[in-house]
Amino acid sequence: MAPYSNFKVGAALETVDGLIITGCNIENASYGLTVCAERVAMFKALSDGHRAFVRLAVVADTETPTTPCGACRQVLWEFAPDLAIVLANLTATTSHHPPRELLPHPFGGRSWHR
């Protein structure tokens, strides 16, 4: 649902037991309230009780891959640090990345627990 930017992104999150949970970016007139496809998929999975994930595909109708934004990178690292992130457009898969590669110095509970 991207009525303001018309920049549509889809995400598909695979759980360890093979379930696919999808998400799309959901825009709001107040852009700060917009939620990206990656977080929609992750939050849907978490709210349904899933805690272990294999991979996340992020797809947009672009020439080059659309990478997760900073907020999504943080959420993905925190809830699925070993996730394989697959970036693609409408014609091909373009690259694979672990969260640590996209967010090399993450912040989280592990940052302050000793």
Q: Is 27 among the residues known to form the active site?
A: no
End-to-end CA distance of the chain: give it in Å, rounded. 42
CA angle 35, 90, 3 (to 5 degrees): 35
State how far Cα 84 lies from the chain centre.
10
Which candidate in 27, 38, 63, 101 is catalytic? Answer: 38
Report, as residue numbers or ranges, the catalytic residues.
38
